[in-house]
Structure 1
Amino acid sequence: MKTIKIILIIISVLFLAFLATGLIVKETKYSAKVEIDKPITEVFNNFSKIDSIKNWIPEVQSVEVVKNNPGITGSIYNVVVINQEQEINLTEKIVAYVPNEKLTLFYDAENMLKKDDYLFTENNGKTTITLNANCQSDSFIMACMFPYFKSTFREQDQTYLNNFKDFIENK
Structure 2
Amino acid sequence: MKYSNEVQINAPLSKVITLFEDESNLAKWQQGFVSAEVLEGERGKPGLKSKLTYKMGKREIVMIEEIKTWDLPKDFTATYDAKNVFNVVSNHFEAIDENTTRYFTENEFQFKGIMKLFGLLMPGAFKKQSQKYLNDFKTFVENEA
Superposition TM-score, scaled by structure 2 size: 0.91
Alpha-carbon RMSD across the aligned residues, in angstroms, is 1.5
- What's the offset of the Cα at 1:99? 2.1
Q: What secondary structure does 1:38 align onto? A: coil
Determine if contact 1:89/1:109 at 8 Å carries over to the other structure. Answer: yes
- What's the offset of the Cα at 1:115? 0.5
> Structure 1 segments of 4 or more deviating over 4 A?
none
Percent of paired sites with the same residue:
27
- What's the offset of the Cα at 1:39? 1.4
For 1:113-150, what per-residue CA distance to the aligned partner results, in whole angstroms no more than 9, with x for missing partners?
0111111111112111111100002x244234313222
Change (3 A) 1:70 1:61: closer
Q: Does 1:128 align with 2:102?
A: yes
Q: Does 1:84 align with 2:57?
A: yes
5+ residue gaps in structure 1?
1-27
- What's the offset of the Cα at 1:88? 1.2
Q: What secondary structure does 1:166 align onto? A: helix
Determine if contact 1:35/1:127 at 8 Å carries over to the other structure. Answer: yes
Superposition TM-score, scaled by structure 1 size: 0.78
Distance between the aligned counterparts of 2:53 and 2:121, measured in 1? 25
Aligned to 2:19: 46
Equivalent residue pairs, number: 143
Aligned to 1:115: 88
Distance between the aligned counterparts of 1:164 and 1:151, measured in 2? 20
Distance between the aligned counterparts of 2:134 and 2:43, measured in 1? 26
Determine if contact 2:72/2:92 at 8 Å carries over to the other structure. Answer: no
Distance between the aligned counterparts of 2:16 and 2:129, measured in 1? 20
Q: Pick from 101, 111, 115: which aligns with 1:142?
A: 115
Distance between the aligned counterparts of 2:118 and 2:139, measured in 1? 32
**Higher Cα radius of gyration:** 1
Greater fraction of residues in helix: 1
Matched residue type, 2:94: T
5+ residue gaps in structure 2?
none
Determine if contact 2:72/2:93 at 8 Å carries over to the other structure. Answer: no
Determine if contact 2:13/2:95 at 8 Å carries over to the other structure. Answer: yes
